[in-house]
Each structure stands twice: as structure tokens, then as C-alpha cells.
Amino acid sequence: MAILQVAARYCGPPGTANGGYFAGLFARHAPDIVRIRLQAPIPLDTPLAVESRDSGRLELLQEERLLATAEPAGLHLHIPHAPDYLEALESSRRFIAFGRHAFPGCFVCGTARARGDGLRIFAGSTRSGAMVAAPWVPDASLGHDDGKVAPEFMWAALDCPGYFAARDDGVPMLLGEFTAHLDRRVHIDEPCVLIGWKISVSGRKYEVGTALFDEDGELCGRARALWIEPK
């Protein structure tokens, strides 16, 4: 049995973990691509048990309570053409949550987080309106000794742009499923671009894609997510 714990810095909604960051930590325990399914909010600063089951399934438990699962999965995405860094910067000025944010303390997209504390990824609509985009320059607190960004922070960066791609009215939603793959890790202080786009809608469920590009425009990571609007 392994132990997983999310530090308070990496929150999403108040008192709970950011879904993308948590998924990146959880995926460390799997040898291949997995689909992370969140069954309940992930508490902060709390030791949680990672248990292996048959067929490569992982379960995250708080005592006997099931919080999340990870199961082997494929990841199939058509990645749209991404804007360059300056275009992404322009798009970020249209970030809908500058005026009112459902979770301003979110580690990834929270407007209340200071530089060097939160990621401050503010994904706004592109000129065409076909996707959202944001610039991102990872700071030194996100890196390993090799000067590259730790994988769980890239998973985190791939999270919130999907929420803002799903809807443009700021209605609170929760991450239900997350599947990501990293092609390579980006460097600290490297100007990156993130995009998010809507794939499908079914009732209160929104399927989205996100992708992360380095300063040369090369694809470095992609994710597919399911966001759910609570009843």
C-alpha cells in the first residue's frame, strides 16, 4: 500500500485538492495511461491509501471510503492548431473569471493566488471563439533539479482550461474524469501556451480536451476531461 497526500497549497474548491494536480499525483502509481475518476472531493493535508486491484485498477481510500479510481485507458484526441504565445496572451485578457470567480483560491486558475504561489493560468476565448487559450511561464517552485517542470504540475496546468472551454458563464462545475499524457516535460521559465476546447455535451456533462505547447509550438502534453455541473 502506498500513501498519497495533497498539500494545502494545491487546492481547487475551498478545502479540497485541485483535480488535475491530484490526478497527476495519483497517476504516478500507474505504469501506463490511466483514466482518473473522482468519486468524492479529495481532502488536503490528509494521508490517503493507494490500493492496487485486478486488471491494473487503482483505488484511493480514506479509511474505507472510496475517493477516486484509476484504470488503464487510451487517450484519443484531435489536437487543434494552437495560437502563438502573443495570441494566447491576448486571449487571456478575455478570461471570464476576472470579474467573478467561482473558486478564486484555485491553485491553477485562481485570481486570488499570487505569482509564484498559484499557476495563474487564465484561459480566455480566442478571436475565432473555437477554443480558449492562455500563456504560462512555470516558476522555479514547480521544478526538479533538472530544470524541468514536475509532471503533476503539467497535469494541473491541463486541468482548468477545460472548465473554461466547457462553458462561458462561470457556472460552478466539478471535475469528474481526467486522462492525460505527457510527451515531454517543459522547462522552468519557458513561455508555454495552453488551449482548451469543447468536445461534446450531454445534459450536465461536458467533455473537453486540453493541450500544452512549449515555446517552439511543440505539443508537450494533452488531456481529455469530463466536467459535471452539480444538480
Interval 164-196: pLDDT, tens: 999 999 899 999 999 999 999 999 999 999 999
Nearest to 187 by CA among 209, 223, 213: 213
Q: How far is CA 145 from CA 5, 62, 117, 142, 151, in A?
A: 22, 32, 19, 10, 13
The CB density around residue 130, as the number of other CB atoms within 10 Å, is 14
Per-residue pLDDT at 80? 96
Q: Where does residue 93 rank: exposed (0-12), middle (13-18), buried (19+ CB within 10 A)?
A: exposed
Domain 85-228 belongs in CATH node 3.40.720.10: no
- The CA distance from 123 to 1, in Å, is 38
> CATH 3.10.129.10 occupies which residues in the chain?
2-72, 85-228
Per-residue pLDDT at 54? 85
Per-residue pLDDT at 33? 96
Nearest to 211 by CA among 117, 88, 115: 88
Per-residue pLDDT at 212? 98
Nearest to 179 by CA among 228, 226, 230: 226
Extended strands (E) in 101-218: 124-125, 132-136, 174-182, 192-202, 205-213
For the chain, 231 residues long, give each residue's pLDDT as a single digit of tens: 799 999 999 999 999 999 999 999 999 999 999 999 999 999 999 999 999 998 889 999 999 999 999 999 999 999 999 999 999 999 999 999 998 999 999 999 999 999 999 999 999 999 999 999 999 999 999 998 899 999 999 999 999 999 999 999 989 999 999 999 999 999 999 999 999 999 999 999 999 999 999 999 999 999 999 999 988
The CB density around residue 226, as the number of other CB atoms within 10 Å, is 23
Per-residue pLDDT at 144? 81
Q: For residue 53, give the C-alpha cell.
A: 486491484
> To which CATH superfamily is domain 2-72 assigned?
Hotdog Thioesterase (3.10.129.10)
